[in-house]
Structure 1
């Protein structure tokens, strides 16, 4: 035993064991401190998040209701045909106004009573009746903190800003017969643009009881402020409003405050309506959670310390045996001391072999990232950034370019490629990588940086290396891109510039910006892509084939160049990707930029596009096409009346007895298009028929499809078809 102990000391194994034991003790100590601090920070973070989410939930609900109030105010400002009259002069107009107000009473549970008052009239109107302003202020609505004269002054005041009156009791038989409550918060808003009308919204206390409800054990108080005044509050303890206002001043988010000798967490959020939302919760909630959890941490450390001590004792005995065994393997000796130098030499060899393997793996990851990047295999920019970190590439959120190198000589290819990668690695504020495209005998580099001049300097150095190493060398560069999901577009731009190497001087860098492409919109207007998209959504294979045939015929008539053709099919394939509903399954069958770049004829493109559309239709899940009665009636009404210039979305909503907001939401959800866009499409299609089949003047066609202004009709027709009405008639007749 003494001999072994001596050998351990002589070869420093003993000291390693002692150092290890001390290290373990320190680790446990540090771990305990860290766990406590981590637990403290976690509980405090959860405490902050819980309060913020609680307050944000209240604010979101209240701000949504305030937005409905704001929408009602502006919609009333547009309803001039039923407002701004005196009851004494137009008694029948009151009935129309009451019907108009009725549609708003079911919009929200926020307010319980809505009143309208025209400043030149002596009456207020609800959805069912009217009441004299003087009677309303003196007897019909008696407020706790406002006398009748103040109520009258506020009613007739043309104040532009929202007015909010704090929660207070209300009496008066007229008001209570409608709302049946004793306490309300009153909102007043003058109606733009003249501000000669006022809307009153009575919000019952039951609404705020529900909104600001807290359990007693939460020890939380919630407040809503407006212009340095507490509008409504629900408190777990009495709080001085003046003290609360003083605390809120200068608070933008969350902070700890002291009130009456106690600590609280104050959370403040500012709403877009001008209201300020506050929550005050006692810090005792946080401290109680800390005390509950700290005993668990102490117990955990004790549980860890006991087996650790036993582990060190066992490890000390086994370590000497393992060191001796490794020495025997390395030195091939039957008896040997505990020589750590031999072990170190063997480990060094293993480390070097592992570093070489890691380097090869990193190169493979970078190659895979560049390949996937230019194929648009990533769903969004966040996925691109995550993949770049895995490949140890710092791409940031700046700009990037794609670079194609061609016309290489085999003798210097590897040396040049290595030198180029070294240049990129040495450049500050820039990163990138290059891969070989075996099928096209090219190399593809992608450079990322937040500084354009840094990319330009690197391009010059890469070009210089290529000219030095290759007998014949061509280098093309795409335009600058900042959207990380446009990798394929950058590659196609570089490839387009490369295709022009015989038309330009390849003794300089070929740039995509210098290639003349023409007007893409004149070759293929948006209406062709819209027809293809609608055919895919309706799962109509015949319509899809017709849409593809129309696209190919159009492209044949315009005879686009190869660069133009590639840009056009890139836009078309993006339409297909937007309609692809099968997650990532088979996505390569739909869009592989390296395969599509070999399409050289319209027939090739027609066959490939039809096959892609077939796959989309076969994998597209069945959709529920059952539309509501409102949408069906809206579609039928627009088809029958689209030629009338007075047909607007407001008129359509009135016909259907719904609000414009409800019409827009229902129509968009069921049809996937705004009702105004659907009406415009009906008019444009009818105009196209009249231009081809009749000799009517442009002015007459404009009137017949619902446009009073010829210039508006011409501008919208060109946007829809890519041509003016005259050009369209000349081409199709």
Structure 2
């Protein structure tokens, strides 16, 4: 029956509930304003800022490349220019060639630590004169550069604002690159002086758009320079240290609000932050705000009317829910009590759940296991602390030394872990006291032992006896990992990790054995064992399809590994080298594996084999399949097509190399060279040179590029190398070739 009072109460509730999404809608409307602001900022300042960043990044990369060229030039080395005066003069003239193609910097210097001079295209300078007169930075001398580069082995940037206040000194950014490039122990540095005006010219379009200001931070979030109406004194650069990638964030500086956008270069690590005054964009939104407010009020009124209409139609399900709650509570269903009945039923169920959770938490076995887990993790520092915590659950521990033993069942058992754990603990009971954890890892039983009577030396003998007992009594085969003894209870976690490491060593020692961590430590002397000659024979016999010889060499390698008991990591790496040797032989002979076979030849597959015997059997089976398939099918040869495709895509890049091509093809450099010449009848270097010279002729004929640009676009960083190679190939220099083409066209 319809209840007016209850209906009114629900009507008010649903109206309030409806107000929430309407309020959210209002916020969405206001987000439309922010969207307009973001579009304004993104379409103007952010795009221009990104363009400026790319422009500066490109020029900074040119500085890095120039530094590498200088570092690699033997005539500019520290020893060369320190010998004779004529060598210094030659070096200065050579430096002039480096400064010609780049107008980003005003000047650059080579500073070798320990030299009494700076070397630049404009001459030599005394370091003291440079630091105090030419480019005086506050609280910094050129001698400090060596300490800063040694400390970071990275590029160093000195900001503009740290220049002296002398108005006659042109403010410049000092950009220092260590020599050799990115060396941890540089012998010197190439540093470039970039004038503030040069940076301003690049950012000019961004600064003029909507009266913006731009802050540039280096990779360490330290300010380099500030352009525009704002100055570094008016902001705190530290507040932007963690805002390296943001769009249209609003902040207040000096009583004025700004929209701040930033972008961080992935190449240089510099961050560019623009400050756009909000007044330039907010005036456009006043009309939209009024429209949104009217829309909000209209929607709210319509929503209230719809709630009233649907309440009258849909009140019946709510009444049924109320009656269901009343029946659960045992009340009269003719007067269910509305939502209060539902609430009472839910509260009653919640209280019942709380009671059940309390009973669950107070269950003694669960808490007992929890304390043992904490003991294993090293949460208890002494025996007294653990005894107090475990007294309620019958747990106590004493003794002078503590250790962890892990019993790993070699195969799943139908016996319960509790039964097996109880038997294992009983075998140690005559010598040690301790506890069993059987719920940490499947098929593993962990023993936490304490020694009170100095039976440490009998430890491993008892473990060996336990293996025999479990085999004879329960028909269980197991491997035992033994951690070291420690005098501190908090070191049990370390003993546990040692026991786990010892179990991993079953790859070498095999299953059904006792492996102590002390034994692994003693085997470090055999870490240098590496059967290089046997690996070469393995590849040779694989290529020759000599299955018998292949098996003999493989068995010999694994036999030596077991006899020498090399460290686990060395054993895994050697196993991987065996797999890699076979894999390389497969690719060299153009054999193709099925997906399931291919997955066996990678580093991840090593974790699937618990012993060397398992790995040996798998390798022999796969190689047998390959030998049989090789007799039936001809190998598919698509290598040449892939080589040419990669070369055509990358030959014009300066970093293109034969090593990079060989890495891409998963071949050695010598094999790649031999294979290409056998297929094409010429060296791969001649093939690359033909491609580069053909493109160079096209650029010289069809474009106005200067020779430096042509050289760079065909893969040469050094102009003289390009000219020499071009003349060697065509018989004339690039300039003569271009003039000849122009005369023919004229």
Compute the TM-score of the two structures, normalised by the length of structure 2.
Answer: 0.42
Compute the TM-score of the two structures, normalised by the length of structure 1.
Answer: 0.43
